[in-house]
Amino acid sequence: MRKFGLLGCVGALILAVIIFGGYFVSVRNNLVGLEEGVNQQWAQVESQYQRRYDLIPNLVRTVQGAANFEKSTLEAVVNARARVGQVQSPGGPPGAAAGAGAAVNDQNAMNQFAEAQAGLSNALSRLLVVVERYPDLKSNQNFLELQSQLEGTENRISVERQRYNTAAQAFNTAIRRFPANLVANMSGFKAKAYFKGTAGSEKAPDVNFQF
């Protein structure tokens, strides 16, 4: 009888381990999927910021062609773009191995990144206001094309940032809920940083060139 009782206990223990193991794997796989969703959305954010970054040299060259255009305004844009280039992306360097998006766990790095991008947005907004004083630019075909591209990019930046925050919130909520938080802690999952931005940064900057 004792032998059968011992076998029963061992069997129950093995069954419990199997059940826990299955639950652990299931929860962990779900968290992996959520984290990959955050990383994928972060890549979309970076892509749109990079597109804007790449458009600025053409914008500066076009505006420089206008007679007596305000030098200080152009310098502000160039300097703001340089600061963006100096701030390490919270998602890691371009071409980083899969999983490098874990760097987005650093809220301070995210805040510095967002602040540099906001500085560039503000410099661009000031430049576009000044452009109103230069009629020749308003009929420049290259300038009009840049207008369209910048408007679209700024809108996409706003949308992708919101989508990133939504994905990050879903992941952060999942790793805090019991008992999934036990699996998250054992697996090393960390909360993702949010785009907090500055007052009014939830809106795309006004880059409307209509006069």
Tens of pLDDT, residue by residue over 145-190, are: 887 898 899 999 999 999 999 999 999 999 999 988 999 999 899 9
- Top-confidence residue, 167 or 138: 167
Q: pLDDT value at position 199?
A: 44
Q: pLDDT value at position 44?
A: 93
CB 143 within 8 A of CB 137: yes
Distance, in Å, from the CA atom of 132 to the CA atom of 141, rounded to the nearest integer, reads 16
Give the chain's domains with CATH numbers. 10-94+101-187 (1.20.1440.20)
- pLDDT tens-digit series, residues 13-63: 776 667 767 778 888 999 999 999 999 999 999 999 999 999 999 998 888
pTM of the model: 0.78
When the pLDDT of each residue in the chain is averaged and rounded to a whole number, the result is: 81
Q: pLDDT value at position 8?
A: 65
Contacts of 102 (CB under 8 A, 6+ apart): 190
Distance, in Å, from the CA atom of 137 to the CA atom of 176, rounded to the nearest integer, reads 53
Q: Rounded to a whole number, what is the distance in angstroms from the first to the last CA of the chain?
A: 94
Residue for token digits 């940032």? Answer: 161
Q: pLDDT value at position 92?
A: 54
Mean pLDDT of the region 190-210: 60
CB 186 within 8 A of CB 25: no
Say which amino acid occupies 54: D
Q: pLDDT value at position 209?
A: 36
pLDDT at 207 over 60: no
pLDDT at 93 over 60: no
